[in-house]
Structure 1
């Protein structure tokens, strides 16, 4: 899950709110963004915050705002990177620990930050546990109905496939049975803007209508807009589906950054995370 979502994030980062999408969206390489300074093949905040979530899960630490906030801060401080919203990036630079994070954050966003990091939460063994865990982590930064609902929906996407709860064509209906606000089974069309529910709706649409990871990744980018978030959410779920061929091009795997917290670290953390299926 983690390696795939990181590839989706890193590939999508070159296309986020960019105009020239169709020309370069052929999976041949990671591309440079026309305005941002991110090195091609580098992941962004979507993956770093997913790592923070996954590390709390595999450590079996208490699932509390304090522990989660500390993990967000720790992951950022040890590996500062571009990709965060400017205001949040400077917020993370200024604070020292999770307690200060909770004391100073304004948790009133309805954007996609809580949803983009929610994929690993699908590992919990029941929908009820997933919903509780996703809600707690979302409320730290996105304590709004839309922010929380988007995070819960994104976490339920991976859960649905990890635990083989039905065919992918019924994914949206499954989410609607738990997240009553939102037309999760209605196909998304057009550009994806910054609201969290938009990215999740687009990701659900792409997962349902594609049967391979390569097609899924290209389809996520083709929406245009906040496509790195769409790809992060969709590829996390798609990587767990038996109906989706796992055919991400090898050069995108080997081309993913591989520093201290890069590809090899993600692969190992992924193994630890997936070993918990049915156990938590």
Structure 2
């Protein structure tokens, strides 16, 4: 799961908020392209979506009881040991300045409804019970996105993985299942409403777009291409969609080998993700 979502993030990051003409020309899955909007960032490098997901996954496999302080420490540690781009400018600056989780919690103003809590929530879906998924997704969301929409988006993203991992039904019904658990209105018309067009910055937009990609069926390659073709915040859409799809027995695991080969593989790159994945899937 972690390697697949990182591939989606790294591939999608090159197209985040890019011109539709750029997306149409280069979205062909033949390899990574340099990140649009991040001059000098090497192709195949993942963004904050994956880095914060790693922090969540490491918190899960630690076996420690989750608290806001534990998670804040994870976020700070993950960033400082291997700084990555892609964070919202203010949060990026804050992470760069703080030295521990206590300072991060003290300085944060967590009133965002954007996608940061949703993009990192996938590993939580591995947990065995829906109530556990909802609780942990909400707890981590409240650190940075303590709004009804920010929390609901994180819970929906985690539930998507839960549905696929625990084989709760056909992929075509995933959005309707989530809507049955999260019926509260956060202003977007419902999780099962198909998404079309450019994906904006709010978390519910990325999640609903990802659910539309998932219910469209096909293999991981088709889903990655479809997510990026939407334009907008496509790395987050791809991260959320591939995290869930990688755990579905219905989905062909057909990402091109070049995307596996060329995903960054430093100390916390592809091999680290694979090892962490192995631990995560056995908690």
| Shared fold per TM-score greater than 0.5 | yes
**Deviation at 1:34?**
3.7
TM-score, scaled relative to structure 2: 0.96
Equivalences, count: 276
Structure-1 residue corresponding to 2:4: 4
Structure-1 residue corresponding to 2:208: 201
Structure-1 residue corresponding to 2:35: 33
* 1:151 is aligned to 2:193: no
* 1:271 is aligned to 2:278: yes
Report Cα offsets for 1:108-129 as digits up to 9, x if no partner. Answer: 0000000000000001101110
**Deviation at 1:181?**
2.6
Structure-2 residue corresponding to 1:191: 198
Separation (CA, whole Å) in 1 of partners of 2:228 and 2:37? 17
Alignment of 1:130-145 (within 5 A): 130-145=133-148
Report Cα offsets for 1:144-166 as digits up to 9, x if no partner. Answer: 00000000000000000111111
**Deviation at 1:44?**
0.4
* 1:230 is aligned to 2:237: yes
Gaps of 5+ in 2: none
SS at match of 1:7: helix
**Deviation at 1:210?**
2.5
Report Cα offsets for 1:93-117 as digits up to 9, x if no partner. Answer: 1111001111110000000000000
Q: Is the 8 A contact 2:13 2:36 kept in 1?
A: no
Please say which of residues 80-89 and 193-202 is displaced more in the overlay.
80-89
Separation (CA, whole Å) in 2 of partners of 1:25 and 1:105? 36
TM-score, scaled relative to structure 1: 0.97
Q: Is the 8 A contact 1:203 1:234 kept in 2?
A: yes
Separation (CA, whole Å) in 1 of partners of 2:34 and 2:59? 32
SS at match of 1:21: helix
Structure-2 residue corresponding to 1:242: 249
Alignment of 1:45-64 (within 5 A): 45-64=48-67
Separation (CA, whole Å) in 1 of partners of 2:38 and 2:57? 27
Q: Is the 8 A contact 1:111 1:194 kept in 2?
A: yes
RMSD: 0.7
Separation (CA, whole Å) in 2 of partners of 1:59 and 1:34? 35
**Deviation at 1:33?**
2.8
* 1:112 is aligned to 2:84: no
